[in-house]
Each structure stands twice: as C-alpha cells, then as structure tokens.
C-alpha cells in the first residue's frame, strides 16, 4: 500500500493547499497516510526557514549542505518510517525544489539533483508539478501573505520555474495550477486511480 507522492511547484502555485486537501481526503476515507513538508520542523529545517525569511545569511554552499542535511532528517525520521508502516506519504517539496531554488553559477539544477540522488533518498512514486506562470504566482503571493520570502519576486520565480522544467523527470505529472481546488484534487485522484 505504501506510496511516496511528492508535490512540487514555485511559490504561489498552491502545492501546499493541494497536498493538504489530498491528505484530508485520505484521512476521511481511512487510508493510512502522512503529510510532511520540507524544510522540516527539525533544527536543520528551522535554520533554513530563518534563511528563507531573510533572518540569517547562508552562502550557496551552506544552503546546499543544510538542505541535504535537513532532507536526511526528513527521510530517516519521517518518510522512511511511514513507508515502512505501509502508509502513503505525501510530501510538500522534495529534492526537485532544492535543485530548482538553490541553483547558482557554481551549481546547476542538474548538479544539485545529482548530489541528492547520490544520497539514495527514496524515489517518489508520483511527482505532481503545479504549473503556473510566475506573474499569476506573484499576484497570489501578494494577495495572500503579509511576509514575502527571499525567492518571492518575479525574476527569481521565472528562473526557478525554468530550473524545474530542466530537471523534472518525464514521468512528472503537470497540473494546471489555475484550476479550482476541487478540480486539482480530482486530477490527483484520477492519476492515482483512486476514485
């Protein structure tokens, strides 16, 4: 029964909302499931959140080390134990996010993806990518949030989206992020053949 399902997308795409909606539906149907997100709520993840909020500075190498360290915690403490218990694991952001967001002149998206793959982190059963143009994403962010993180501007979101498109596997399922929550939920269930 255990399956590992990852939700990816730029900020403002609605992946956190969708992953919560899928999780709540599974719970309502008594399907054993867990919903996690990265960065985690462990020490490594909290440091990353401070960086994302602009409270601390990390150079690209420090960012990368911290993301991989946090992912190790995510896999060993959250993902793998839940999969071992036969649960469906839903994850809001995975290594595709790190590759898309942390890419720099020193490290291409593919370099970062390769670093993660060397760690033998679990391979997702399905990857859902919420596809949205950066202008629409920015409108949503400005409308919905009082605080905006370091990546939330049009230029960066455009670059991040392009990075995603360069590394997502052919098996990734692209969802139209402009659809309603209900339609997106239905699209995910159709893809998982869980009606």
Distance, in Å, from the CA atom of 184 to the CA atom of 189, rounded to the nearest integer, reads: 9
DSSP string of 93-146, one letter each residue:
S-HHHHHHHH--SSS-HHHHHHHHHHTTPPPPSEEEEEE--HHHHHHHHHHH-S
Torsion of CA 70, 113, 133, 190, to 10 degrees: -80
For domain 9-192, is the CATH number 3.40.50.300?
Answer: yes
**pLDDT tens-place values along the chain, 195 residues long:** 799 999 999 999 999 999 999 999 999 999 999 999 999 999 999 999 999 888 999 988 899 999 999 999 999 999 999 999 999 999 999 999 999 999 988 899 999 999 999 999 999 999 999 999 998 988 887 776 656 565 667 888 999 999 999 999 999 999 999 999 999 999 999 999 886
Task: In whole angstroms, give the CA distance from residue 63 to residue 100.
Answer: 13
The domain ranges of the chain are: 9-192
């Amino acid at each position: 029964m255990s399956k590992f399902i990852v939700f990816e997308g730029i900020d403002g795409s609605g992946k956190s909302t969708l992953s919560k909606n899928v999780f709540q539906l599974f719970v309502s149907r008594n399907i054993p499931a867990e919903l996690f997100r990265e960065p985690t709520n462990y020490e490594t993840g909290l440091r990353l959140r401070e960086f994302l909020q602009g409270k601390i500075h990390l150079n690209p190498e420090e960012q990368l080390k911290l993301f991989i360290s946090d992912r190790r915690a995510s896999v060993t403490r959250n993902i793998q134990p839940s999969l071992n218990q036969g649960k469906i694991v839903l994850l809001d952001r995975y290594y595709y996010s790190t590759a898309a967001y942390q890419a720099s002149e020193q490290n291409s998206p593919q370099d970062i993806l390769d670093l993660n793959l060397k760690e033998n982190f679990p391979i997702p059963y399905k990857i859902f990518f919420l596809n949205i143009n950066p202008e629409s994403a920015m409108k949503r962010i400005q409308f919905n949030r009082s605080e905006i993180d370091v990546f939330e501007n049009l230029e960066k979101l455009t670059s991040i989206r392009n990075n995603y498109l360069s590394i997502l596997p052919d098996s990734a399922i692209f969802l139209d992020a402009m659809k309603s929550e209900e339609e997106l939920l239905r699209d995910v269930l159709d893809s998982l053949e869980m009606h």
